[in-house]
Every structure is written in structure tokens, then in C-alpha cells.
Structure 1
Amino acid sequence: MENEPLIRLSCFFGILVLMGLWEAIAPRRKPQQSKLNRWFSNLGIVVLNTLLLRAIFPLAAVGVAAIAQNQGWGLFNILSRPSWQAIILSILALDFVIYLQHVMFHALPSLWRLHKVHHADLDFDVTTGLRFHPLEIFLSLGIKIIAIVLLGAPVLAVILFEIILNGTAMFNHGNVRLPKGLDRFLRLLVVTPDMHRVHHSVIPSETNSNFGFNLPWWDYLLGTYQAQPAASHDGMTIGLAEYQTKPQVGQLHWMLLLPFWEIGGRREQGIGNREQGIGNRE
């Protein structure tokens, strides 16, 4: 566990560099904003989130898993199961929790105010997958910690899950093109960029679909899957309608302040909006 931060950091930078090079060589869509400014802000919020997490929650998820294991807390520390089964089942369960959390952040207006920082990005690339408000990161960690303790998830399972989740989030936010046949196959196993790009459409019924970050199965099973955007991937508009003419969405200070004001004195649309729900598909 002592090498966990180095392992995660190495995987993070390795995948970020690979995806960045892929996007530079063969981009899926033409950027709408300055890439330099966006990357500075989107990566800046990652650095801020990391520093705050290390300062406020030094143990983080892996440390909590180690404590739960030592204390015998949680389902897999009570049941006598082979360690490989506990690891696989823990990763699956944690991924389902993240799916449900994502749905909840769209459904509840107070949480949507935090999560819309992620959706307000007018472009869709590898750094969009890292763009989250610090308060959302803290709440997400709290939910994850509760799940880890209840499950008794092994330390190795938590390390693997964190690496997989972070890596797939960068992959499926990539501004890259996969051959259609390969994309169809990969969608059986992992969320692809074309699948997740639908979730970043300006159309609410598309925003409220494809919630998976890693595994696509929860969207298939729970009816939140949408195969393609109505306007096609090349023609679709990315982001939220109310911010399409606001270039400041790419600025770090704007992202940090966004949850604390309302546009036009009203709440923005999430899944909880009565006109556009999970069951409403175009």
C-alpha cells in the first residue's frame, strides 16, 4: 500500500499522455475553445482536488480499506470467500455504486449544481474526464468510503478499482474515433468515447443517459442506455444550453464558483426536471 500513490500517479500520467497524443494525431471533433486554456483549467482543478484530498482525507479510500480489513468490518471480511472472488465482486459492486452516484448527481438539484461543472465544458476530450468540482470529489469519496466499509473490499480491489476508474474516465472522454465494429464490440465490456459522448450532449434526454464511467452493463440493465446522439457525433452540440455563449466556462475560477449561483434565478435542468426524466428518450 505504501507504493499506491506512485502507482496511481504513474498510471494517470501514462494514460493522460497516450490519450493526449491520440487526440492530437486523430481528433474526433474540432475543438470549440482554446485547448491550451482548457487544459490549464481542467488540469488545474485536478491538482487542486488532489492537494485538498491529501490534506483533508490523508487516508483516502485505500487507507479506509486497510482499516476495515484489520478490524474485520464489512461483508467480505465476514464471509469466507477466496480473495480473488472478493476482489472481482468488490470491483463490480463499487462500479455499480459509482453508476448510482452519477444518476443521483443528475437527479437531485443540489448535487446537479456541483456536477454541472463537469457538463459545462464546451469541448469533450481527455481532460473533461478529470474536470469535477472539489465538493463533488469530497462527496464522491464519502460515498465510496461507506461502500468500501460495508463491502469489506480488499485493499488490492480498491487500488485496482481506483486505477481502472481513473483510466477509463480518461479513455471514454477522449476526443478520439474508434472503428465502428471495434466500438460495437468494446461497448460490451467498457464504456467507449462514442458511448459516453452522448452523455455530454446539450439535449437533456441525451445528457440523462449513459451514466457508466467504466462498465456499460448498468446502463443496459437499468434502461439508461442510448446508442447514438440524434444529431450524430460530428453534428451534436457538447455542453449545457445555458453556457453555449459563455467562453468563461473554460476558466478555473469560474468552475469553482459555478455551484454557488443560479442562471436567471432558476435551477438548471437535471434528471429531476419533470420535463426530461430517465424514462424520456428521443
Structure 2
Amino acid sequence: MTTQIESAAAIRLGSFVAVFAVMTLWELLAPRRSLSTSKTPRWGSNLGLVVLNTLSLRFLVPMGLVGVTYLAQSKDWGLFHWLETPYWLAVLVSVILLDLVIYWQHVLFHLVPFLWRFHLVHHADLDIDVTTGLRFHTIEIFLSLGIKAVAIVLLGAPPVAVVAFEVLLNATSMFNHSNVQLALGIDAVLRWLVVTPDMHRVHHSWRERETNSNYGFNLPWWDRLFRTYRAQPQDGHLGMTIGLKQIRDEQQAERLHWMLALPFTTDPSPTSEEPQE
């Protein structure tokens, strides 16, 4: 099992580096919006959080989700171990259902005040680009890992499905948070198949009704199905304000030590004040 876990980690790392490089270059060549804050400290803090989260997971949960999958397989736990399902169908359905789990997890992290305290770190970013898709509080990462582990055990998801799902989730998170220009016609078609940057950017608006929409990370169907879809931001993509109303201080929002402390030092409730344009 150790070999399989290491192979899965290598696949995830390779895909992460490749997608991150492509999206970073795309942002440089064809940005969608002008950034409102200094890029260097933001990227340093956001990527610093990625390193912290990766090391924490590696140290505290070395077997990861792939290890959970092999454990469930060895014990015959989960739906697809009980049903005589073709392997390809088990893989496909597992990826789709795990994406549905992530959709509802995202909704819960917005609706439950305790969970929102940690998720607001993601939304406190004053700009949105490829690094925003990687910016999650360490405690949220562990909570999410637990939710995904339970879902994997209940489904009896095949290892290939879990690796594919993790690679897709990581890649699409970087893609749909990226500050990239995409032709409107292409975006209109593509957002029926995958969450696009213009679709997800609405979710990072300071307007609460827009923040509470477009929860999907990978597949865009759940927002339409559960009526949380919002096509465009009220202020337009170039005029909209990114972030949260109650966190407008760049030092607080964009420094690693402040980001880690935010869930414990910030009132998670939205304010009625509109930020200065």
C-alpha cells in the first residue's frame, strides 16, 4: 500500500505543478482584472499556507485519502464493494458523487457559523487568482479531509477514482480561481461542463447574496440543480469588489500569521458597510 500512496502523491504533485505553471503564465499573458493589492506578499502568504498545509497533512495523516481507500477495500466497506458494479462505472460514479459531496461541504462551510470561521480565510483574499484556489485554513483542510474520508468509505470508491477526483479537484480549483481572460462565447459553453473563472468569481464577491452562490468547484451542474447558480455579478467582473465586507485591511487579509489567526480574532458575521471603491 505504501507504494500506491507514494505513486498517488507523485501524480498529484506533478499535476499540481503543471496546472499551476499553465495558469500562472495565462494570468501573466491575458489577465481578466487588474489586481488591487501587491502580488508578492499575497503570493508569499498564500503559497506559504499551501506549504504549511501540505507538511501538516504529511506529518499527521501520512496515508491520506488513498490510504483510506485501500483500507476500505481490504475490509470490503462501502457501496461499491457490496454491489456487482462494473469497475469503470464505479470509478465514474464515485468521481461524480464525491464532487457532489464537496458541493454540499462547501454549502455547509458557508451556512454553519463554526465552519464559516475557517472558510472565511479563503474569502478574505482581497484579490482572486490562481493562489486563491489554494488558500484554505489548515483546520478547514483537516475537516475537509475527514468529510471526504467518510464519503470514500461509504461509497467504497476505487483507488483510481479517488486519485482522479483529487487531481481534478485541485486542478479545477486553480483553474476557476485564476485571473484569466476567457472569450465570453467559450465561457458560456464551457460553464455547462466545468466551473469557469467567470462563474466562480461571482462567489468571491463582497455582496453576501453573491458569496452564497456558485458553490461548485469542479462540476457546474449542482448549482443549477439546487438553485444556487448566479450567472454574473451585479457590478460586473471588472467593477466587482473581491473579499469580505468586514475584512478590508491588507495586513490582516494577506499576511500568513493573520490568516491563521483570523478564525479566532474576527467576527464572522457580515457587516452592512460597503467597502470603499
- Normalising TM by the smaller chain, what interval? over 0.9
Aligned to 1:87: 91
* Paired AA for residue 22 in structure 1: W
Aligned with 1:258 (options 235, 256, 262): 262
Misfit runs of 4+, over 4 Å = none
Answer whether contact 2:99 2:219 (CA < 8 A) is retained.
yes
Give distance in 1, aligned partners of 2:147 and 2:113.
18
- Confirm whether residue 184 of structure 1 aligns to residue 195 of structure 2: no
Q: Deviations over 1:32-76 (max 9, x none)?
A: 111111111101000100100011111111110011112111000
1:238 is matched with: 242
TM-score of the superposed pair, with normalisation by structure 2: 0.95
Is the Cα contact below 8 Å between 2:126 and 2:250 reproduced in 1? no
> How big is the shift at 1:262?
2.9
Residue ranges of structure 1 left out of the alignment (5+ in a row): 276-282
Q: Which residue of 1 aligns with 2:211?
A: 207
Unaligned runs of 5+ in 2: 273-277
Deviation at 1:247, TM superposition (A): 3.5
Residue-by-residue CA offset, 1:106-156 (whole Å, 9 max, x unaligned): 001111000000000000000000000000000000000000000000000
Structure-2 separation of matches of 1:244 and 1:45: 20
Equivalent residues of 1:113, 1:268 under 8 A apart: no
Q: Does 1:3 align with 2:4?
A: no
User: Over aligned residue pairs, what C-alpha RMSD do you find?
Assistant: 1.2
What is the percent sequence identity of the aligned residues?
Answer: 59
Letter in 2 for 1:14: A
Letter in 1 for 2:156: G
Task: Report the residue type matching 2:157 in the other structure.
Answer: A
Cα distance in 2, alignment partners of residues 245 and 80 from structure 1: 56
What one-letter code is carried by the residue in structure 2 that aligns with 1:268?
S
- Kept in 1: contact 2:125–2:242 (CA 8 A): yes
In structure 1, C-alpha distance between the alignment counterparts of 2:25 and 2:98, rounded to whole Å? 30
The one-letter amino acid paired with 1:241 is K
TM-aligned CA deviation for residue 248 of structure 1: 2.9
* CA positional deviation for 1:169: 0.1
SS at match of 2:126: coil
Partner of 1:26: 30
Aligned partner (choices 125, 147, 159) of residue 129 of structure 2: 125
